[in-house]
Structures are given as C-alpha cells and as structure tokens.
Amino acid sequence: MKFKLEKTDAKSGARAGTIETAHGKIQTPIFMPVGTAGTVKAVHQRELKEDIHAQIILGNTYHLYLRPGLDIIREAGGLHKFNGWDGPILTDSGGYQVYSLGDNRKITEEGVIFQSHIDGSRHTFTPENVMDIQRTIGADIIMAFDECTPYPCDKDYAERSMHMTHRWLDRCINHFNSTTEHYGYAQTLFPIVQGSTYPDLREQSATVISEKNCEGNAIGGLSVGEPHEDMYAMTSLVCDILPRDKPRYLMGVGTPENILECIALGVDMFDCVMPTRNARNGMMFTSQGIINIRNEKWKSDYSAIDPQIGGYSSTFYSKAYLRHLILSNEILGAQIATLQNLTFYLWLVGQARNKIMEGDFASWKNKMAKTVSTKL
C-alpha cells in the first residue's frame, strides 16, 4: 500500500491524500460503506460503484468467519471474487463484535473464547488466527486484533486492556510477517490505538502504535457512547501523535457532523453503519439536513429527495413516494433510502476533499456541520 499526502488545510488539521492498493486508489478523506457479511445491505455492487461512487467497502471477520465460512470464501478465490466487488476492501478484525457479545465471550491473554450468535457454537479468536482468517478473506487492509473497551470504563481496566491490545499487536505483526497472502496481491495491516477517554492512555497507545511503523493506523474505542466532546478531544490528541505520512482511520464514526469535525482534526478514513441502518428506519441524511421521511409533512412533497448531490435515487424519486414505500414496508423503500444516505456520505467527504484542495475547508466545514445536523 502507498499513501501520498497531497494537501493540508492551513486553518485546521484536515488532509487530502491518495491511498493506493492492489484493487485501486482511494482518495481521502473517505467514507467506507459497511458490508458486514460481504454485502452493503440493500445495495448492488454496480450501484456502489456507479451511483454511490464508493471507493472502498468493509467486511467483518467475525461475521464472515461464521457465515459463509472460510472454506467457501477460499474456494471462491477470496471475498472480492465471492461478492463481485473489484475495488479495495478493509476487514475489521472482529474485536468490536466480540466486545458486543457481552456474557457470551471470555477474554484471556491468549485471545477470546466466544459463542456464535447464530447457533451457540464455541470458537476462539487469537491474534494469530485472526491474521490467518483475514488472509483467507483477502481484504486489502486488515486490522489488528484488539479489545474495544466500553464507555464508561474504569481507568485501571482501560489501562490493562490497552497493554493487552499492545501485546496482541506484537503477536499480530509477528504472525502477519511470517505468512503470505493467498491470492497474489499484497495486504496491509493497521494497528489500533486504544485507551478509552483517558488522555494519558491515549497518548501512550498512540506512541506505541506509531513506533510499530505500520503502513497505516486506526483509532478504536470511540463512538461507543462517550460525549462527542470526548471523542473529538481523544481524536485530536491521537492525530497529533500518529505519523503524518500515513493514513489515519477513525473506526465506527459516525454522524455527518462527527465526520466533518474529525476530518478537521486530521482523520482520513471513516466507517459507520448509521447511513444504512437509519435508512431502513426512514431517517434520511441530505445536503439540507436530516429528514424523518415517516413524518406527515412529507406526504405530498413531490420534490426530489436531494437534487443537490446528484445520483439516480436522490434525484429521480420524490419524498412523497419514498415515504409511501417506507410506510408500506416495501423493499424498494429500504433500497432507495440506503442509496440516498450512502450517496450523501460519499458526496460529503468528496466535497470536504475539494475544499481542502481549494484551501477553504475550515469556513465551509463550520457552515456545513450546522446544515447537515439540522432536523427538517
């Protein structure tokens, strides 16, 4: 993987760059649609590329490991061949999913023993076999195995967890370096900064991760319930430490406003289930603000959903028609809503990149952050 930093905003930490992978280039800042089980829900791969203009998508190690299973993915030739997406893919290591299992998992120094949410069967994830699993899935960017601490979190626990995550990282790196890719193209390992909302722990973790000299770095353990001010403070602190010449990925964030604020702090890559999950419930993110399409006020509004951002779904269908579909539980409603939200998210980060390159990001961000968080 290669990363070229092309422009830094003079009045903030915002950056524009290009990541080059075996499956194509990614222009940053970028939002990555979440395809947990090998698919971005309700969206064809053609729509991802031609309508949404996605440049990279996510898969999840935990879910893909359980279903369809590694044998199927291996026999298909990797996830790219299996799902038909020919662009870059990033896989989450499964650390967050294991964290979310609660009582159905046990964390030890060796790894995590957990029960499948599908059939209750017992499995073990270790730093080593998670590297093997992600090798088999075949993502371009793979994540180190870590523990995601909850919020709020006792500092002693956060510190113990952070140190274990660092020890797991060493095991991930050693095993990654001792193995080879399965499908003839290079893969890249990103370590993950942890430390909850404690500045001294975040500083320590970011320093340790920076010293590993990996090709990119991630920030985990945020967007788990903490106030936005804490998220921004921790992100700012970490971005001041992580290497300037390598991409920074803030995991699981977030709202359009969150993304704009964190771009301003120096983050390059984002993912979140919010645009797809909220779409299926009728919450639309648009260039004018947030719409609850179920509300009566949209019943006879025949204007396009969001003509400013372009894209077939945003400009062809009316708010009234989408409301009808959502209230009728029609599958097409979920499809149109999902396409709108993802098209908007990719439009937003694309606009941010343009403003960084033009040199007027900061003033644009301050206005746009207010606009996109307004409820219409």
Query: Would you name the residues annotated as active-site residues?
Result: 92, 271
Closest CA to 92 of 248, 265, 245, 271: 271
| Structural tokens at position 138 | 């075949």
CB 159 within 8 A of CB 167: no
Q: Name the H helices within the chain.
A: 45-50, 61-66, 70-76, 79-83, 95-100, 127-137, 155-177, 199-211, 228-239, 256-265, 274-280, 312-316, 319-327, 331-358, 361-372
Q: Say if residues 176 and 139 touch (Cβ distance below 8 Å).
A: no
HSE toward the beta carbon, residue 291, CA cutoff 13 A: 28
Give Cα 243 to chain centroid, integer Å.
20
How far apart, in Å, are the Cα atoms of 91 and each of 38, 43, 135, 244?
A: 10, 19, 10, 23
Beta-carbon-side half-sphere exposure of residue 13 (alpha carbons within 13 Å): 21
**Which one, of 129, 128, 124, lies nearest residue 107 by Cα?**
124
Region for 102 from its dihedrals, namely left if φ exceeds 0, alpha if ψ lies in -120 to 50, beta otherwise: left
The span from the CA of 184 to the CA of 186, in Å, is 7
- In the numeric block, the tokens 């194509």 are attached to 24
**Strand pairing category for 289-292 and 283-286:** antiparallel
Distances 265 to 130, 211, 233 between C-alpha atoms, Å: 31, 21, 9
DSSP-derived pairing of the beta strands 248-250 and 269-271: parallel
Asked if 59 and 137 touch (Cβ cutoff 8 Å), the reply is yes
- Taking the C-alpha atoms of residue 267 and residue 182, their distance in angstroms, rounded to an integer, is 30
Token pair 């990614």 is at which residue?
A: 26
